[in-house]
């Protein structure tokens, strides 16, 4: 039972169901028969989907931080939000030091100058899904893709194929010295 709520308060009631978008409705305490309309997911993926930033401009209707301020604040302060732009990642990807000075080992671009690598598959997954594995250059990731591993990306995952982390087979194991596919 919720406490401290008055009849004048307005509540946002949400509902979830597999294969449906989250639905919501506003209600007053004591109100009965609140109807929450839920829309079914499309049968096929929308190929022109635009990823949603957790923190777009406040005037935008769709963003995670409108309802989940604390969760977005936690995300922003962890490495998932920095996955695509973390300075250590960028130095290892380009083979530079923290000041950007070149030719510092290790560096994927030093070892494979003509390749983009698979780093974006994990560090900028929204870009890699659009551009493709082994074709996404972390130096050109922009816009919402710079959010790294964001809310929208994780909440679009519907299944994994590994029963446990120990038995997971990675398509592109993380290694800066791994050669690109031939």
Assess whether 37 and 114 both reside in one domain.
no
On whether residue 135 sits in a domain, the answer given is yes
pTM of the entire predicted model: 0.67
Return the pLDDT at 182.
47
Q: In which domain, by residue range, is 142 found?
A: 54-159
Query: Based on the domain organization, do 81 and 30 belong to the same domain?
Result: no
- Report the candidate in 156, 157, 155, 119 with the shortest Cα–Cα distance to residue 140: 119
Cα-Cα-Cα-Cα dihedral sign, residues 63, 65, 66, 67:
positive
Q: Binning pLDDT at 50, 70 and 90, where does residue 141 land?
A: very high
Following CA atoms 71, 76, 82, 87 in sequence, which dihedral angle do they give, to the nearest 10 degrees? -150
Residues 63-72: tens digit of each pLDDT: 888 888 899 9
82 and 148 in a single domain? The answer is yes
Whether residue 96 sits in one domain with residue 19: no
pLDDT in tens, 81-110: 999 999 999 999 999 999 989 998 888 999
Based on the domain organization, do 103 and 132 belong to the same domain? yes
**Total domains present in the chain:** 2
> What torsion, rounded to 10 degrees, do the Cα atoms 124, 129, 133, 136 define?
-50
């Amino acid at each position: 039972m919720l406490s401290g709520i008055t009849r004048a308060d307005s509540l946002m009631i949400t509902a979830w169901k597999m294969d449906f978008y989250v639905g919501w409705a506003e209600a007053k305490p004591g109100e009965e028969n609140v109807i929450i309309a839920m829309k079914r997911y499309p049968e096929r993926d929308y190929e022109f989907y635009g990823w949603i930033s957790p923190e777009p401009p406040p005037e935008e209707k769709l963003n995670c931080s409108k309802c989940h301020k604390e969760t977005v604040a936690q995300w922003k302060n962890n490495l998932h939000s920095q996955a695509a732009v973390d300075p250590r990642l960028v130095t290892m990807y380009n083979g530079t030091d923290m000041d950007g000075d070149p030719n510092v080992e290790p560096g994927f671009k030093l070892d494979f100058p003509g390749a983009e690598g698979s780093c974006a598959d994990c560090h900028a997954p929204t870009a890699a899904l659009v551009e493709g594995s082994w074709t996404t250059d972390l130096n050109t990731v922009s816009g919402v893709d710079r959010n790294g591993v964001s809310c929208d990306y994780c909440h679009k995952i519907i299944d994994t194929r590994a029963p446990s982390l120990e038995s997971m087979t990675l398509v592109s194991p993380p290694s800066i010295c791994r050669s690109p596919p031939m």
